[in-house]
Amino acid sequence: MSYQVLARKYRPQKFSEVIGQEHVTRTLKNAIEQERIAHGYIFSGHRGIGKTTVARILAMALNCRSSEKPVSEPCGVCDSCIEIRAGNAVDVIEIDAATNRGIDEIRELREAARYRPARDRFKIYILDEAHQITDAAFNALLKTLEEPPGHVVFMLATTQPEDIPQTIRSRCQHFSFRAVKFEQIVEQLRDLCGRENIQADEDALAQLAEAGDGSMRDALSILDQAIASSEGKLSADAVRQLIGVPPSGVLEEIMQAVARSSSEEILQIVDRLLAEGQNPVHFARQLARFLRNATVAKVAGAASSLLQISSDERARVARAAELFSEEDLTRHLQIMLRTHSELGYRQEQRFHLELGLLKLAHAQRLLPIEQLLSGVEANRGATPERKLTLASEPRKPESPGASRPFVSPFAADSARKGTPRSEFSAGENDRAAPVRSPAAANTTPVVMGSAAPAVAAKPAPEKNPEPQANNLEQVRVAVMNALAKADQNILCTMFDAGDWNVDGNQLIISVAASATLIDMSMSADAKRLIIATASGALGRAIKLQILSGAKPATVPQRSAPHYANGSSRARAEEEPVVRRMKEKFGAEIRTVIDYRKN
């Protein structure tokens, strides 16, 4: 007899022999025992995980002649089981839907389904790669699949269930197969090597299971190659050379060079690997997997079950994780994933691989935006001499893996919320950093992470004092800016020429427009926006009253950032965000477009 590959030789013949799909096999066995057999099934999932195999086992269980009715486990020795296993059963028709995908083939299937089985209980149709069937062919099958004869059972196997029309899926029971777990693949490979009298190292089996990527058939196919290329014993190095995995430890060596920001060393390692015949795309994929494992080891620990790798690889991943912070590992993984995706359609793959690895080295110098913004806040209160000193001081190198505590502006903002609103001043720079009282100014900066000090009890807030003389102007500025941002141009024009007053807990705006125009222009959302903005500026809840028919008031000259006066460039220069960018990065304003004038 000719040689039979391991994937076919050890193909499961019973539900109990199927690996990693207990949720499917248990349901099918219970359905058979309860005589709740459906007329249509859809088996979907990753390649090589047992979809067609389970369909054949189900066909044997339905037509097994060891009993007068379907059995939960086929006997495997009756004529029906033997013929189905050999693929020549008359009443079990396997159709390759990739080549028989047209409406004519489906019409023939529909006509043949009307006749009773020649010998067995059921006439079973197994459609492999069912997503390849055309929409017209699916429509031709629709009525037969919905109400087939009692002796017909349809089984559709597919790797892309989303391509099957919803009308077909709703008429079948859908079973989603899972990728086989790493440990289950290793155990099965170990068992098969024992049956074949093949000696194999544990690391070699782990390499084969990892290369299978959740597919039992892929792992067995690579095992066949490894057995053919070995000389009596499977070693990890032989398997790595066979499947093209970089030599052991080279990925860790790369990441150590990245931690040292040694660009020259990185380029030398890449040159050595490519000279040995390594594929740039495959190497980038392996490095991305290594970075993923290192990130998981950093987050969940090297002993986590999320790491489906060998023990030696766990040690290497753990050592690499100690060199970087979680944020750095996340950034490195993102860069490597983008590099791997770009290599698929680039001409000069080596250049792009080297560029991606150099980005990893340079990413060590990047600072989080929160830390930059915190530096802006710190510099704002410093003297000019101190600012010059901070700008001239070089960044001190950090030891690998050391955490970088920083003052988070978000945490600082949360801390500021505990102070009374009366301690904040919303002067001409309404949206700039709040001016705190001397007691609040002495608050220690908020430090994120384990170094954060215990939070002291907050003092009881004082009652808000009466509004100052300039509070009315603050309310006006805040309300006008809020209306401008909400594109309420008519209200901006109307209120800008009006007279504003605060009487107790009531904001009174007198405008020259008629009551009808006010009602047409003032929506409920705009009214809520005005009340919320004014209440926030005054620090207490207020009511809004708008008086119509008042004499137009002369618009006073106000300083930026008020909406009605001043040039667009002047208002832009007074924006707190613009000032921060100019102060921190030396930015300049090129063009200013005021959309509120349109």
Q: State the pLDDT at residue 561.
A: 41
Residue 376 predicted with pLDDT over 80:
no
Report which of 353, 383, 189, 151 is spatially closest to residue 270, judged by C-alpha positions: 353
Residue 41 predicted with pLDDT over 50:
yes
* Category of 6 on φ-ψ map: left (φ > 0), alpha (ψ -120 to 50) or beta: alpha
| Average of per-residue pLDDT across 484-501 | 82
Q: State the pLDDT at residue 585.
A: 75
Using the Cα atoms of residue 78, residue 80, residue 81 and residue 86 in order, give the sign of their dihedral.
positive
Q: How many Cα atoms are found within 13 Å in the side-chain-facing hemisphere of 577?
A: 1
How far is the C-alpha of 114 from the C-alpha of 116, rounded, in Å? 7
Q: What is the pLDDT of residues 423-443, one digit of tens each?
A: 333 333 444 344 343 333 343
| Average of per-residue pLDDT across 49-63 | 93
Q: In what order do the strands lie in the sheet with 543-547?
A: 499-503, 506-510, 543-547
Alpha-helical (H) ranges within 198-262 are 202-212, 216-229, 236-243, 250-259
Residue 452 predicted with pLDDT over 90:
no
Which range is most confident: 53-62, 379-388, 425-434, 463-472? 53-62
Pair of tokens at residue 464:
């808000």
Residue 456 predicted with pLDDT over 80:
no
Q: What is the pLDDT of residues 395-406, one digit of tens each?
A: 444 444 444 444
Q: What is the pLDDT of residues 565-576, one digit of tens each?
A: 446 777 777 777
Residue 413 predicted with pLDDT over 70:
no
Which residues make Cβ contacts (< 8 Å) with residue 354, sequence separation at least 6?
266, 267, 270
Q: What is the pLDDT of residues 167-179, one digit of tens each?
A: 999 999 999 999 9
DSSP reduced 3-state for 311:
helix
Domain ranges of the chain: 6-176, 182-243, 250-365, 471-557, 567-598
Pick the CATH number of 250-365 from 3.30.1330.60, 1.20.272.10, 3.40.50.12280, 1.10.3720.10: 1.20.272.10
Report which of 544, 517, 539 is spatially closest to residue 528, judged by C-alpha positions: 544
CATH superfamily for 6-176 is P-loop containing nucleotide triphosphate hydrolases (3.40.50.300)
Pick the CATH number of 182-243 from 1.10.3720.10, 1.10.8.60, 1.20.950.20, 2.40.420.20: 1.10.8.60
Helix axes 51-63, 79-86, angle to 10 degrees: 160
- For the domain made up of 471-557, give the CATH fold: GMP Synthetase; Chain A, domain 3 (3.30.300)
Residue 392 predicted with pLDDT over 70:
no
Residue 373 predicted with pLDDT over 80:
no
Radius of gyration of the chain from its Cα atoms, rounded to whole angstroms: 36
Q: State the pLDDT at residue 371.
A: 66
Q: State the pLDDT at residue 440.
A: 38
Strand partners, 127: 95, 156
Split at pLDDT 50, 70, 90, the class of 187 is very high
Q: State the pLDDT at residue 491.
A: 82
> Can you count the helices (H) and strands (E) in the chain?
27, 10
Q: Are 82 and 66 in contact (CB under 8 A)?
A: no
Residue 1 predicted with pLDDT over 60:
no
Secondary structure letter of residue 559 according to DSSP: -
Which residues make Cβ contacts (< 8 Å) with residue 232, sequence separation at least 6?
199
Residue 113 predicted with pLDDT over 80:
yes
* Category of 294 on φ-ψ map: left (φ > 0), alpha (ψ -120 to 50) or beta: alpha
Q: What is the pLDDT of residues 226-254, one digit of tens each?
A: 888 887 788 888 888 888 778 768 899 99
Residue 152 predicted with pLDDT over 90:
yes
Name the average pLDDT for the chain: 79
Report which of 325, 349, 352, 324 is spatially closest to residue 255, judged by C-alpha positions: 324
How far is the C-alpha of 507 from the C-alpha of 526, rounded, in Å? 15
